[in-house]
A and B are shown apart, each in its own frame.
Chain A
Amino acid sequence: MLSLSKIQTIALFTMRDILKSKILLNVFLIGLALMLLTYIAAEFTYGVPERVALDIGLGMLTISSLGIALFMGATLISKEIDSRTVYMIISRPVSRSSFILGKVVGLLAVLVINILLLSTMTLIATSLLGGKIDELVWWAIGFILIESLLLLLVVLFFSLISNTILSIIMSLVLLFLGHAIQDTQSLSFVQERPLLGTLLKIYHLFLPGFYKLNLKDYILYDQSLPFSYLSGSLIYGMAYSFFLIFIIITIFEKKNLD
């Protein structure tokens, strides 16, 4: 039985615990490195320093968000079982689904804070260098959040059926494949081999296509994207996330917590 108040409580205290760890310091250091890199790159770039600043900023924002999602997501539940905290919580009137959703929402809130801080720094640096922030940048920042959520759910799913290291490795493999799948399908090597093409199509059908959420190349080359593509990617990311949440809850409900 899902309880919004329980999810909210668990999310709040999960977020508090993570934020009190060294993670905010890391975000702050990444922010400083981002400003420094932007300054150096701008000095060495002729003509388009603001574009370089934006590219570096969005790149670091992606790496830090995916890093938090991957490494904190892998231990989000296993750490609770190892430290037996999960026993204290689900022995209360709290369902397993509320517990796991609370943990996910708590970590998602940390991701939101990370993205807010770093994107603010990126946008300030870009503006100071005379760059304009068009609509696609806002979409890109939103998509980084969705991509991080998707990776968090993928690693959480793997952590429930394997161990921490395996879940990180498998999630990284899926992340790289998910970014490369579209380009790989268009390779002549693949097109000349129908069986390989069919396998990739099946992969594309079921496993997450992270490339749909990557808008950084379009921003760098100043290309525009139709609203239908953006909204389609948004719906894809959200639907895949809900699908994974459903799978994760189903597994966790049946899992022996020993």
Chain B
Amino acid sequence: MISFTNITKKFKTDFYAQEFVALNNVSFQIPQGSMVGFLGANGAGKTTSLKIIMDFIRPTEGEVRFDKELGLNKFEVNKNIGFLPERPYFYPNLRGEEFLEFMGTLSEVQLQTIRERVKFWGPRFKIDHALKRELKTYSKGMLQRIGFLATILHEPKLIILDEPLSGLDPIGRKELKDVIIEVHKNGKTVFFSSHIVSDIEEICDRVIFLKEGNLVYDGSVQTLMNQNQNNIFECKIVGANLSQLKTNIIKTVELSEGLKVIQVASENKDRLLAELITNQISIVGLDFVRPSLEEIFYQTKGN
């Protein structure tokens, strides 16, 4: 749906200051129907990329193209995009329902339709009880939720969210993630940035990694996980003298109540099991150790 091609963005903070490269020849694509996570530490260039996609700022080099399905000009494209900025703070004196009416009207949705959709989505976002209140009385999480509701009010084909889950408590994050998944299941393409790796691992099928303005990974989450598997098995046993085992053990961790965790390489797994059975050691469980996306991210530091 989006082709982000060879984008470079340089900033100059002051007239006399040296140029700072926020994005360095970055290219990626957002396929239709995908749920893409945009990952990177603070300052990696995620928000800058999103601002370039939305034409809030212009790239120094490169171009952004949208599929014809989204529209042939900027106005048609914008009708099919829902964008939620990071930590939005809306007009404080407007009531929740007024704000949604405002955003819906700007997206050329009929007033009656806006009301119907607010009635449908309000309870799902757990915001229906507060729609008559002024936005200045909303908590951060509530602002995030009403912002997201405003983002999908015109039923866009592509939803772009900048750090939608930041600042939310665990329950709020879970609820919002559930809505993102639901919206995606309804056929929408979702592209969202986050520095919370576990959120992206949980709900995205594709991930784009940025590090210091450079693209370091663009592909499926599963491929990245498979590429970074360390082929280690973990066996849990109860109370045994491990010195009698001859299998090459990588690591042993003692847990409470005599429970021990033994890590062995994949090729030694069968030998270890045979030894444990021979020595009549009680096996509690055997698992393949899968590093989380977060572990991969920190291990490789985005490299």
Contact = CB atoms under 8 A, between A and B. Distances in A.
Contacts of B147: 88
Interface in B111-132: none
A85 to B, nearest CB: 6
Interface residues of B, number: 36
Nearest to A86: B56
A13, A92, A95: residue with the most chain B Cβ atoms closer than 10 Å: A92
A9 B58 contact: no
B98 interface: yes
B90 A83 contact: yes
A87 B83 contact: yes
A113 interface: no
A84 B57 contact: no
Given A13-B102, A87-B54, A258-B57, A93 B91 contact: no
A77 B289 CA distance: 53
A228 interface: no
Interface in B140-161: 147, 150, 154
A1, A10, A17, A85: residue with the most chain B Cβ atoms closer than 10 Å: A17
B90 A85 contact: yes
Nearest to A18: B93
B88 A256 contact: no
A88 B148 CA distance: 11
B57 A83 contact: no
11 contacts: A6-B106, A9-B102, A10-B106, A13-B91, A17-B94, A18-B93, A87-B51, A87-B85, A87-B88, A90-B56, A91-B54
Given A84-B86, A84-B88, A16 B106 contact: no
A94 interface: yes
B93 A21 contact: yes
Interface of A: 1, 6, 9-10, 13, 16-18, 20-21, 83-85, 87-95, 256-258
Nearest to B51: A258
A85 B91 contact: yes
Contacts of A256: 56-58
A95 B78 CA distance: 10
Nearest to B89: A83
A93 B77 CA distance: 8
Interface string B1-31: 0000000000100000000000000000000
Closest 4 CB pairs of A and B: A20-B93, A91-B83, A84-B85, A83-B89
Nearest to A22: B93
A16 B93 contact: yes
A172 B150 CA distance: 39
A162 to B, nearest CB: 13
Given A85-B89, A85-B91, A257-B51, A91 B81 contact: yes
Nearest to A89: B106
A88 B88 contact: yes
Interface in B64-80: 75-76, 78-79
B81 to A, nearest CB: 6
Contacts of B79: 92-93
